[in-house]
Amino acid sequence: MPKPVVAIPCDFREFDGNVWHVVAHQYVRAAVEGAGVMPFLVPALESGNDIDEILDRVDGVLASGARSNVHPSHYGREATDADGPFDAGRDATSLPLIRGALDRGIPLLAICRGIQELNVALGGTLATEIQDLPGISDHRKPDVPDLDIAYGIRQDVVVKEGSCLAPVLGTGRIRVNSLHRQAIAATAPRLAVEAVADDGTIEAVSVIGAKAFAVGVQWHPEYWVRTDGPSAALFKAFGDAVRGYRESKAK
């Protein structure tokens, strides 16, 4: 049987005067190797994507991290310079893909920017430059050229007992590589908090009453999916859910 297909929304980027629809290789590699699925890269169009047609053809959605942030207009705020950079094409693509996947019961894994998109898509808000807030640690990516160091597993999060992630990751403390300067502020009403950092920052959520696997994590399991147990377990759980969805469609 052909591999199930997972949609990954692209970012809209400019390089040397040309514009590109791009996804970082680490997400594509993790989808193939960690989840056992075939990625389908969705162009980041401000208009022109038919979300229903896309969702008709896929078995899962992977909302990846990115250098850009969700525009504050999507959660009722005026934008400031501190909120950027922005990517209107990514917003216009990813937010409706997330909502559509949840409506249809298509499995969803949302990472970094993805968890923030998930929260915004369901009515939540975001905080920016969280390292400047009282009592909040500096979660930003280290400014070093070696990506293995930049994405190093260095932070504890606590997975809540009884959460949907507990069977996948276990309960209690796990070590992750959480790299971000924005985070969930007001949690969307449909989201349950699954894991938090020691400073209280929300690091994982799930969709309450979801028809299928629907999880967002603020850290980067895709980077170490080959060697880190929790990272591999998360992508395997996503892949298993995607295969289950594909099989249910075939009946």
Would you name the residues annotated as active-site residues? 112, 220, 222
Looking at residue 245, its amino acid is: Y
Residues sharing a CB contact under 8 Å with residue 138, sequence separation 6 or more, in sequence order: 131
For the chain, report the end-to-end CA distance as a whole number of angstroms.
14
How far is Cα 225 from Cα 228, in angstroms, rounded to an integer? 6
Element (H, E) at 147: helix 147-150
Reduced to 3 states (helix: H, G, I; strand: E, B; else coil), residue 178 is: strand
Q: Which two tokens stand for residue 186?
A: 């007001």
Reduced to 3 states (helix: H, G, I; strand: E, B; else coil), residue 113 is: helix
Helix %, strand %, coil % of the chain (to 5): 30, 25, 40
The 3-state secondary structure of 54-110 reads HHHCCCEEEECCCCCECCHHHHCCCCCHHHCCECHHHHHHHHHHHHHHHHHCCCEEE
Residues sharing a CB contact under 8 Å with residue 227, sequence separation 6 or more, in sequence order: none
Reduced to 3 states (helix: H, G, I; strand: E, B; else coil), residue 182 is: strand
Residue with tokens 């929260």: 119
